Structure 1
Amino acid sequence: MRDRLNKDIYLGVDGGGTKTAFTLIDSSGEVLAQHLAGSSYYLQVGIERLTEMLMEGIAKVCPDPATLGFAFFGLPAFGEDSRFDPLIAQLPREMLGHDRFTVGNDMVCGWAGSLGGRDGINIVSGTGSIAYGERRGKSARAGGWGEIFSDEGSAYWIATRGLQLFSRMSDGRSAPGPLLEALRDHFALKADLDLCGQVMGAEESRDSIAALSQIVATAANEGDRAAAEIFRAAAAELAEIVDAVARQLDFGTDEDIPVSWSGGVFRSGDLVTAPFKARLASMDARYRFVEPVADPTLGAALYALRCANDFPARQMTETAKQA
């Protein structure tokens, strides 16, 4: 890669609660280097660890950050706490040695990748859930308020409802299905109530609880109707989040509303995708479904390239403000 450092290069950082991807591209969009690191969810790992991880990741893909044309850092929870946002927004300055960067929420990475930076809405359903969209220079988001009282339709949301269904099946409040034995086997339970100690006593992490959604998906695919209903409910919640963004962006009556998706929950296939599309189509005939163009890791770098094109104009505006 060193012989290409004299060309325009752009860094995208796609952060997440489980992993963070660093992607370096050139002006044609060709990937030059990539690195995968751990969580960048500062509420979980702390600001100090976030700083260390970002420094290490940048060094892995770009030994000389001064050569970067621009960098975009899409980080989870950014924009959701005015006490910490100013600090996080300035973290890359010392790492890069220049101001050719911007920090945003990781939802932007999913949108930029799925829609290729074009107007429309992207819904992310991974550990958490959130939708982000742009139309004619206006942007909007919905969802993503956190797992305690939001993140509807996410892997965490699906998993907690799967655990709830397990308790109902064990008690006899719901008919037993494949999920009952699946979770017994997963946790090697000697008694069903031991699940309390496994999940709460061991202080399972947000990510490890979210991962249980895969067991719920397997049970649904094996004919567990109650488990399948959890995914239909998740699809309905995700559709509501998208529709909230569409209303904020105020699409015209004669406009299509492009919608794409990203995140691990959508990899469960028709369990979510089919009812999600059906629910949105029933809400508004203008929705047009767009298969993801690229994943969020590339989306972060493509967004950096887009920001680079706007940077000189923004710089002139800031200079004018200071004059």
Structure 2
Amino acid sequence: MFLGVDGGGTKTAYALIEAGGRIRARHVGPSVSHLAEGFARATELLIDGIGTTLAQAACTPGDVTFAFVGLPAYGEDSATTATMDAMPASLLDVSRYRCGNDTICSWAGSLACEDGISVIAGTGSIAYGEYAGRKARAGGWGELIGDEGSAYWIAREGLNLFSRMSDGRTTRGPLYELVRARFGIAIDLDLCARIYGESGSVRSVFAQLAVLVHEAAQAGDAQALAIFDRAAKELVECVAAVRRSLAVPVGDVVPVSHSGGVFNGAMFSRDAFRSALESVNQGFEYRAPVYTPDVGAALYAAQLAAQPLDESAKQTLRQQCTA
């Protein structure tokens, strides 16, 4: 039995699978980010999420052969690594789990733990890849420094575009009225109070405003659509950087996939990403995600336990995920 935990900036997904590929339980709970919740609360939420998942399958912690817990911001502050490693310890045997950055879950799920590079574009953004035993990442610097191509970045670019439309620095498109309606404002500058107020500045809440840019693009706003094109190029730059760090030989084709809310339900986001990937002409092959990150985390747990699922088990797992 293998447990996978995919912690994100907005939510946390859990998956428990058997060696034969059968999914025993899945659960979605709140974010377990210590940056947003503090360590005490984040640990409490993580333990509750794992416990709920095990209860669904009528299992105990002792039934878990191995677990991988992907956590937001893991490895981005050496002073907190030991504390993060201990977060599941009150429930799981410390010799039977490993913590790591949540981007590993994206790679493991989208590429089924095979060599290649995967991009997460959710609340934040980051690229991670493995090749011939080597590992590398790019991006993931947080919204104040980077996170280009993320939902937060798209929301920020979209509201910047609204300000330019309001001032007359650019032509007003569908985004203009969508923002006014979303915030219920008649005076454009009132947007500042909504954004810089108590809730608007919360990272996860702000990132959700990316949906306005998505809706504007769907309504034919060319300037909003261009934001997604720029986002795709930024993400592909991270992919190219990971390839260089992995020292992939010239001529080798590297599979590339993705996960995260920016790609979910937005065909033009995926199309822009594929187009940007093809334009760099560096030997990349786009692949649609095989599994979700929570299932990927469980697959990675099996790999860490030196008990990787065989092809038959993976096929069983794919059938369930598709259903």
Q: TM-score, with normalisation over the residues of structure 1?
A: 0.91
* Structure 1 residues 7-18: aligned runs within 5 Å: 9-18=1-10
CA RMSD of aligned residues (A): 1.4
**1:87: how far off?**
1.1
Tell me if the contact between 1:24 and 1:34 (Cα under 8 Å) persists in the aligned partners.
Answer: yes
Residue 107 of structure 1 is aligned with which of 103, 106, 126? 103
Residue 76 of structure 1 is aligned with which of 72, 75, 80? 72
Q: Which residue of 1 aligns with 2:297?
A: 300
Q: C-alpha distance in 2, partners of 1:82/1:216?
A: 36
Q: Which residue of 1 aligns with 2:160?
A: 164
Q: Tell me whether 1:86 sits opposite 2:78 in the alignment.
A: no
Tell me if the contact between 1:14 and 1:297 (Cα under 8 Å) persists in the aligned partners.
Answer: yes
Q: Which residue of 2 aligns with 1:186?
A: 182
Instruction: Give the secondary-structure state (helix, strand or coil) at the position aligned to 1:281.
Output: helix
Tell me if the contact between 2:32 and 2:43 (Cα under 8 Å) persists in the aligned partners.
Answer: no
Tell me if the contact between 2:199 and 2:205 (Cα under 8 Å) persists in the aligned partners.
Answer: no
Q: C-alpha distance in 1, partners of 2:251/2:245?
A: 16
Q: Which residue of 2 aligns with 1:236?
A: 233
Q: Which residue of 1 aligns with 2:149?
A: 153
* Structure 1 residues 130-145: aligned runs within 5 Å: 130-145=126-141
5+ residue gaps, structure 2, are 309-323
* Structure 1 residues 143-292: aligned runs within 5 Å: 143-204=139-200, 205-292=202-289
Tell me if the contact between 1:217 and 1:268 (Cα under 8 Å) persists in the aligned partners.
Answer: no
**1:181: how far off?**
0.2
Residue 59 of structure 1 is aligned with which of 42, 51, 56? 51
Tell me if the contact between 2:7 and 2:13 (Cα under 8 Å) persists in the aligned partners.
Answer: yes
5+ residue gaps, structure 1, are 1-8, 312-323
Tell me if the contact between 2:2 and 2:18 (Cα under 8 Å) persists in the aligned partners.
Answer: yes
**1:245: how far off?**
0.3
**1:98: how far off?**
4.1
Tell me if the contact between 1:70 and 1:308 (Cα under 8 Å) persists in the aligned partners.
Answer: yes
**1:97: how far off?**
3.4
Q: Tell me whether 1:20 sits opposite 2:17 in the alignment.
A: no
Q: Which residue of 1 aligns with 2:31?
A: 39
Residue 48 of structure 1 is aligned with which of 19, 37, 40? 40
Instruction: Give the secondary-structure state (helix, strand or coil) at the position aligned to 2:69.
Output: strand
Q: C-alpha distance in 2, partners of 1:244/1:305?
A: 28
Residue identity over aligned pairs, in percent, reads 48
Aligned residues: 303
Give the 3 Å change call, closer, same or farther, for CA 250–97 of structure 1 in structure 2: closer
For residues 241-266 of structure 1, the C-alpha deviation after alignment (integer angstroms, 9 at most, x for no partner) is 11000111111223111100111111
Runs (4+) of structure 1 moved beyond 4 Å? Answer: none
Q: C-alpha distance in 2, partners of 1:83/1:55?
A: 22
**1:197: how far off?**
0.5
If you compute each CA radius of gyration, which structure gives the higher value, 1 or 2? 1
Q: Which residue of 2 aligns with 1:320?
A: none
Tell me if the contact between 1:112 and 1:302 (Cα under 8 Å) persists in the aligned partners.
Answer: yes
For residues 88-143 of structure 1, the C-alpha deviation after alignment (integer angstroms, 9 at most, x for no partner) is 11222232134111000000001000000000000110111000000011100000
Instruction: Give the secondary-structure state (helix, strand or coil) at the position aligned to 1:103.
Output: strand
**1:219: how far off?**
0.6
Q: Which residue of 2 aligns with 1:316?
A: none
**1:310: how far off?**
7.2
